[in-house]
Structure 1
């Protein structure tokens, strides 16, 4: 029998095709996970037994894009506050388990992020598994992939609202938008908020400032910061750090073009760049005041935490901890102040989640997240989390999750638990049969 979890995504796709499965889902019903197809029961068993990443996710939906053998997914965690909202990631994975865990963690993180930010949205995340056999740089190929994903999102009737994330571009989002209304971060030319990277970086900076105040009792001026990942958010964060007069930034990336761009943009500043390779975590041993993970998640685990030579961890990457409970505790024991990613990288979703309400100059709805006057601002929630963690002797990640979980069960003041109702309707209408 095929080990579905340890199979490669391509092997899993071939398994689906051999069983005539194009669409499938997993829902949480009567205190257990249930699958749309009996052939997928091993994955249900995995979800039911997993204590790390699966947390009664309301609905997890998939569709196979057969033209390119690409698996498209939408993970919906909790929708009490509103429909599941979060970006779509276009990424490659070694195993099916890696893919599933990423979606589970990311969607759960969005529940926490949206709740702490006071947004009336639930938690969701999209994942498209990159097929290495296709040329994803081909504009025509990408157009077909993301238009197909838009059709997939439309078929879910609004239980999940997608947006931009790692591996996707404004053009990709524009292609999704041609096939669905259930998307944000759409191009400004058609009324959207566009790329949220700048806003995201500003939120991370606020978290850093709060952590520096708590740990050092002073500002970021004169500090040394390591930024892992110099993509859209990382490069903007570096710019903001130099504006705050940090003494030095050490930036790394796995792409030579990102290194070259940073060197050109920050010529004359004290920037040291390092070209690293995938799974090379030697950067974590670099001595610094603040380590900012701004690439992919899961980089902090027992082996890497032992190497860390920093006082604060605060960055934009989602799911920085490989195991949220274990690694949060390890950082706490080492007296490294960890600022949970879902607390500080909220501005991407804040920037785009309510774009249907239009735009105004100096929008107070957005600005309040970045100031010190609102109780739920990034700065104040970071301070509150670190203070509670110290007072109660509980790690900051656990503290933030407890706060977020309480907020996440508050029901939308107008529509109640509508996301769950949509999922129930999809199941009743045999959504998985529509693609046959």
Structure 2
């Protein structure tokens, strides 16, 4: 295996690894470990080139620093990407990646992400102990992530829009691991739901329920509703989509929803649309992993209680933004930076 370290300002360690025998090409980025060891998912994706993969892993690892800090947990920020087509994923590839993780000696801990699963983490765990989200511990964090999004939507609807959930209309974009769990939580509370996904089977199943309307994926952001919940890929809030939004607030699970963090946050603000910073709203997964690592072992009740706290933090962020005359995303960054920079 060959390693090439890249020096990036404000990042602690960024390394590219290639292994000819397994076909591995991967990058691990550690942004900051002031609060604790870096933790972040392993994304397996057929990036067009190394530069595209590097840009993604740098952005995501920095995001993890902010996410853990704002969630009040003692993890640092890291992320890894494997440059590969998911259909070429093999145990050999995953074990080679595990050997790469091991070279960080605990400075970085991996977990599941796009195109990797708890089962993949078990294979990686054969080679390194620096793996989180294993099946015999907290397992799939998706239901806990969904719980945090649900708590944030409920608090936003009730406290900022003055609408109980059973009178609210939510448009959910994406019904994958997190989106589907979120759908059921909101439906159980009596919310009216518009949904969109590429998976027709899931849509057929959920559309049989009352108060549910299926919308084309390309139109879901244009639905007149109280809250738009992006739960698919990032950059959904951009100069094309923001003018078409017909919601009062955006609260969703997707990472990096703003195509341009400052410009698009301003666009939403100018339209009077309340934006809940995504890295706070979707922090349930990393909270779940943190509880998994606690000395007394994993406790689901404890994980859910800590995740419910996301709603309170979000209301505090909204209040701080209003008080200081800044955007909610700026208020979130301010609180997160204060915590990890003073650690």
TM-score scaled by length of structure 1: 0.74
CA distance 1:69–1:305, shift in 2 (3 Å): farther
Which residue, 140, 144, 157 being the options, matches 2:105? 157
Which residue in 2 is equivalent to 1:270? 211
Aligned-pair CA distance for 1:69: 4.5
Look up the SS of the partner of 1:381 in the other structure. Answer: helix
Gaps of 5+ in 2: none
- The equivalent position to 1:385 in structure 2, one of 309, 317, 323, is 317
Provide the residue aligned with 1:340 in structure 2.
Answer: 277
How far apart are residue 22 of structure 1 and its match? 3.2
Q: 2 CA distance for matches of 1:284 and 1:97?
A: 30
CA RMSD of aligned residues (A): 2.1
Question: Are 1:398 and 2:333 an aligned pair?
Answer: no
C-alpha distance in 1 between matches for 2:223 and 2:7: 44
> Does the 8 A contact of 1:235 with 1:262 survive in 2?
no
Q: For the structure 1 residues 341 and 62, does the alpha-carbon distance in structure 2 shift closer, same or farther, using more than 3 Å as the test?
A: same
Residue 135 of structure 1, aligned match among 75, 87, 104: 87
State whether structure 2 residue 92 is matched by structure 1 residue 144: yes
Matches within 5 A, 1:28-427: 28=8, 33=9, 56-67=10-21, 69-131=23-85, 135-136=87-88, 141-188=89-136, 192-247=137-192, 249-254=193-198, 256=199, 259-265=200-206, 267-274=208-215, 276=217, 281-356=218-293, 357-359=295-297, 363-364=301-302, 366-371=303-308, 377-411=309-343
CA distance in 1: counterparts of 2:49 and 2:259, whole angstroms? 16
The Cα shift of 1:213 comes to 2.6
Cα 1:222–1:67, aligned 2, differ >3 Å: closer, same or farther? farther
Asked if the contact 1:85–1:353 (Cα under 8 Å) also holds between the matched residues in 2, the reply is no
TM superposition shift of 1:99: 2.1
2: distance between equivalents of 1:290 and 1:340? 14
How far apart are the structure 2 equivalents of 1:253 and 1:291? Answer: 14
Q: Report the CA distance between 1:121 and its aligned residue.
A: 0.9
Residue 185 of structure 1 aligns to a residue whose secondary structure is coil
Where 2:342 maps in the other structure, the secondary structure is coil
1:424 paired residue number? none
Structure 1's unaligned 5+ residue stretches are 1-20, 34-55, 372-376, 412-436
Larger radius of gyration: 1
Deviation, structure 1 residue 340: 0.7
SS across alignment from 1:86: strand
Give the structure, 1 or 2, with the largest relative contact order (CA under 8 Å, sep 6 or more). 1
8 Å contact kept, 1:105–1:319? no
State the TM-score, normalized to the length of structure 2: 0.93
Is the contact between residue 292 and residue 298 of structure 2 (CA under 8 Å) also seen in structure 1? no
Q: In the TM superposition, what is the alpha-carbon distance from 1:358 to its structure 2 partner?
A: 4.1
